[in-house]
Amino acid sequence: MKIFNYIFIVCLAIGALSCTGTLEDVNTDPSRLSSVDLRLLLPEVEAQAANNMGFNPARVAGIIMQQYNGLDAQQLDYNKYILGEDAMNNYWRTGLYSGVLKSAQVLESQATAEANPFYSGVAKIYFASQLADAASMFGDIPNTEALKGLEFVKPRYDSQESIYAAALTMLDNAISDLSASGDVSGGGDIIYGGSASSWVKAANGLKARYLMHTVKRNAGNAALAIAAADASFASNAENASFPFETAQTGNNPLAAFGQERPNTLGINPNFVTMLEGDPRASKYYVEVEGVLQYFDLGNSNLVWAQDDSPMPLISYTEVMFIKAEAQSMTGADATASLAAAVQSSMDLNGIAADDATAYVSALGSADIQTIIEEAYKAYFGFNFLQTWTNYRRTGFPALTPSADASPSFNPSGVVPQRYLYVESETQTNSDNVAAASANQGGSLLDNTLWAFQ
């Protein structure tokens, strides 16, 4: 018996001496990747961001801005501004923080470790734009303590002001990275095929966007926005558009919603009135059995309701509207920029040249109201969040709040100014949510955010 014990002990000793790994090595699943090539990480970031732009926050913004109209289910509640903590919960958790932001963080970290400025630059563009757009919806949101795992399981909320500052700095850093980078062929870039210079133009367009988001707080941002716009796109051909597929596993989220939730979301009659005489009207909606629909299966005339309708992260149309508004604010002549913005919208919608020319020629004065109202019409189908932001900054177009507005989340009954913090945060990070609400003077739908005061 003693000999067997001795042999057992010797075997253990030999095994210990020959073992150069750790227990962590034993627990590593060889069938699962521990890292992914950069060219495989980037497409996921681009695709999720494009889906976010057609996800619930965008659809609800379209209802708030009286372009869409809820016809059934939750959309009927949204007409009445019944937008509780559950409304944006999925977006916050899976689309934003564990979605694009986390993926962009991983992409940027790995690209930095591999000294690859192309991927780090594009990652920063997506992180900055998603972060800033979320701040435009909610106000204060987690940033400096977000996405750090167990280090900060209950991250504090950064002020909306600091979020915009961080996003603009990140865009500058992205431009620096991409300016030092060469093009990357076969690198998984679905939008630009690895063109660093194209991404620099997109970053400048986004800079112009967020400078104008905060122009009420800093009038000097208007001049900076003009400079950024001038460094951005020169035509629709340069749009940072994500190309969705016709397959239902990769189609445009607004088209998918129309197919999966038919007759729950339509067109607001107020929008139809604003589009009277506008040649784009037939590209935006159709009347089916007495109901104004943005989606009509098989109707290829509806430009923004096709499975493969593109989703621009930033577009030439938006860049030129931004430039026109900024020029008008600084006393410069915005006529040419407004005409270019509207013409580009006509081109995107496939409007006949004569009809487009007639409409553009009749625009009249390029004042702020005209610019924002034209942007309101031009942004339909792909830019609802920026339409809502424009309204909160300028008050245009003049909208009458819903007569059926619920007082529960919106006591003053105004057109909503923000979204409520989501239930996953109010339930698990309540102290920081309360601090953010106090910092902003409230957290209901009628609470005007810092940038738009």
Mark residue 120 as left, alpha or beta (left: phi above 0; alpha: psi -120 to 50; beta: remaining).
Answer: alpha
Structure tokens at 187: 């690198």
Residue 104 lies in a domain: yes
Per-residue pLDDT of the chain (453 residues; tens, 9 = 90+): 333 333 333 333 334 433 444 444 445 565 555 678 999 999 999 999 999 999 999 999 999 999 999 999 999 999 999 999 999 999 999 999 999 999 999 999 999 999 999 999 999 999 999 999 999 999 999 999 999 988 999 999 999 999 999 999 999 999 999 999 999 988 999 999 999 999 999 999 999 999 999 999 999 999 999 999 999 999 999 999 999 999 888 999 999 999 999 999 999 999 999 999 999 999 999 999 999 999 999 999 999 999 999 999 999 999 999 999 999 999 999 999 999 999 999 999 999 999 999 999 999 899 999 999 999 999 999 999 999 999 999 999 999 999 999 899 999 999 999 999 999 999 999 999 999 999 999 999 999 999 999
Residue 70 lies in a domain: yes
pTM (predicted TM-score): 0.92
Residue 260 lies in a domain: no
Give the count of domains, the chain: 1
Residue 298 lies in a domain: no
Residue 27 lies in a domain: no
Residue 198 lies in a domain: yes
Residue 122 lies in a domain: yes
**Inter-helix orientation angle 117-138/384-394, to 10°:** 50
Q: What is the CATH number of the domain that holds 155?
A: 1.25.40.390
> Which of 232, 211, 382, 377 lies closest to 316 in space, CA to CA?
232
Residue 285 lies in a domain: no
Domain with 180 in it: 38-225+383-452
